[in-house]
Amino acid sequence: MISKVFTAALMGIDAYPIEVETHIEGNVPFFGIVGLPDNAVRESRERVVSAIKNSGYRFVHQNHITINLAPADIKKEGSSYDLPIAVGILSGQGDIEADSFDEYLILGELALDGSLRPVHGSLSIAVKARQLGYKGIILPEENAREAAMGGGDLNIFAMSNLLDVINFLNGNAEFEPFKIDIKEIFIHEQETNLDFSDVKGQENVKRSMEVAAAGGHNIIMIGPPGSGKTMLAKRFSTILPFLSLDEAIETTKIHSVAGLLRSDHGLVAVRPFRSPHHTISDAALVGGGKYPKPGEVSLAHHGVLFLDEFPEFKKNVLEVLRQPMEDSQVTISRAAFSLTYPANFMLVAAMNPCPCGYFGDTNRACSCAAPEIQRYRSRISGPLLDRIDIHIEVPAINFKELSSDRKGEPSQVIRERSQKAREFQIERFKNIKNVYCNADMQSAQIRKYCKLDESCMELLKTATERLGLSARAYDRILKVSRTIADLAGIDEIKSEYISEAIQYRSLDRDLWA
């Protein structure tokens, strides 16, 4: 007898349908799984047999059982096939009345006692189930909240054990579909204890971060130890525009596939903040492995990737950032397949001005020789620096500011301004593919939307010649100037906006002489 159960597997952050075919006949005892299963799938035999017995049902060892996972030419991995395999066997034995389950997608890992354990990627699978027109999805309780985020009107049936699944499929028990209020979850998840008002002083740096948030610009902070670079970076995501539902679902897919989504959350409703240590490998940063998993650049999708002690990262690690910063995605190729993960993040980097950290500090003397400083700076390549629009110096904070009780602007106020500026940009670029903010502009858009009058052109020419700005700084200054104008709510780029943008190119000037 043949039974068919439908489930899904993951390819990157998206799901694709899998058909679990079970053939049972009375013959030489055998239990085999075919269809390119990995070790975790092969080991499901022991879990499935124990779970069936401990749920009060028989398992006929004399049967010849063949499980086929179709399509058979795609590698299957993970433990989510346990439940559909068990359902297929029980259906073939006559313990479940139906022999086809074309209304449901079924997934879940089985414990030996028959209870269900959570699996990765249930959000992506729920999205695919809805697209394919399934009536519902049957999965472990711990995955219900996550699946409900992307299921729309799909019925999410959360089960605690194999016995519940059997009773439900046989019509012996009724289960209410799991429901959530996405709006309430957004409000709850967006609560945070971090706020820009906690930062003492550094008004110029706060302004540069507001400009970066408004235009989607990458930013690097240069300053001595203890000047507040890390504190500012951790609060940067609190001034970024709120995630839309589509952005939140796409971000959640990545975290779900990586196994980083908590069962009590279900949705990444705030922009991610990822801060890997400088000893990270290139594979961990961009993703990889035998079966490729998302790296830090993908986990920071629609959020912030903070790289502290920027020059301390290995050079080959920093260089792999160039492609995702340019394309907003990462492609990982293996002999048998290729996966693409989204990686549309904002880079926030921080570095000391020299190895000892005190070059240019008015309070402490620098102990570094000029060649040491130059070598330290050269760890960051020109092409990588070219992709960072804003360079800002972060001076040491003085005692007066440190001891002051005066609070700065709260994050909410700054966020409202950056949100309004982003809305201007969304309207401006609505008919242009892959351009969503000023930082995404290419040469054609810069020429069209960053036109300068004669006074602005003369100012930019003078700055380039007198301050020793590099040629590559030209487009960056125009992009940042466009964002400053958007924050001011006007279409014209004025000379004062050009002047402010020039100040945000510290590393293009001869700071090290």
Is 88 inside a domain boundary?
Answer: yes
> Is the pLDDT at 513 greater than 60, yes or no?
no
Q: Give 249-281 as a 3 state SS string.
A: HHHHHHHHHCCCCCCCCCCCCCCCEECCCCCCC
| Listed range (59-63, 220-224, 264-268, 495-499) with the worst mean pLDDT | 264-268
What is the domain count for the chain?
2
Is 183 inside a domain boundary?
Answer: no
Last residue of a domain, one of 135, 169, 203: 169
Last residue of a domain, one of 134, 169, 204: 169
Residue 162 shares a structural domain with residue 217? no
> Is the pLDDT at 9 greater than 80, yes or no?
yes
Residue 262 shares a structural domain with residue 349? yes
Residue 95 shares a structural domain with residue 237? no
Residue 338 shares a structural domain with residue 392? yes
Q: Write the CA distances from 166 to 94, 114, 135, 159, 174, integer angstroms.
A: 11, 11, 17, 10, 11
Q: Specify the pairing of strand 116-117 against strand 109-110.
A: antiparallel
Residue 9 shares a structural domain with residue 129? yes
Q: Are 500 and 390 in contact (CB under 8 A)?
A: no
Residue 155 shares a structural domain with residue 213? no
Residue 204 shares a structural domain with residue 320? yes
Range of the domain at 86: 2-169
**Average confidence score pLDDT of the chain:** 89
Q: Are 47 and 110 in contact (CB under 8 A)?
A: yes
Is 175 inside a domain boundary?
Answer: no
Residue 125, SS3 per DSSP: helix
Q: Write the CA distances from 242 to 198, 418, 424, 459, 512, integer angstroms.
A: 20, 10, 15, 36, 39
Give the domain CATH number at 330.
3.40.50.300
Bridge partner list, 68: 21, 34
Is 193 inside a domain boundary?
Answer: yes
Is 180 inside a domain boundary?
Answer: no
Q: Are 426 and 435 in contact (CB under 8 A)?
A: no
Give the domain CATH number at 70.
3.30.230.10
Residue 228 shares a structural domain with residue 313? yes
Mean pLDDT along residues 89-117: 90
* pLDDT over 70, % of the chain: 97
Residue 41 shares a structural domain with residue 105? yes
Mean pLDDT along residues 254-261: 89
| Listed range (163-172, 189-198, 347-356) with the worst mean pLDDT | 189-198
pLDDT in tens, 347-403: 999 999 999 988 988 888 899 998 999 899 889 988 888 889 999 999 988 777 777
Residue 245 shares a structural domain with residue 278? yes
Is 130 inside a domain boundary?
Answer: yes
Residue 270 shares a structural domain with residue 217? yes
Q: Write the CA distances from 264 to 78, 107, 504, integer angstroms.
A: 22, 19, 42
| Listed range (19-23, 151-155, 421-425) with the worst mean pLDDT | 151-155
Is 157 inside a domain boundary?
Answer: yes
> Is the pLDDT at 313 greater than 60, yes or no?
yes
* pLDDT over 90, % of the chain: 60
Residue 307 shares a structural domain with residue 420? yes
Is 83 inside a domain boundary?
Answer: yes
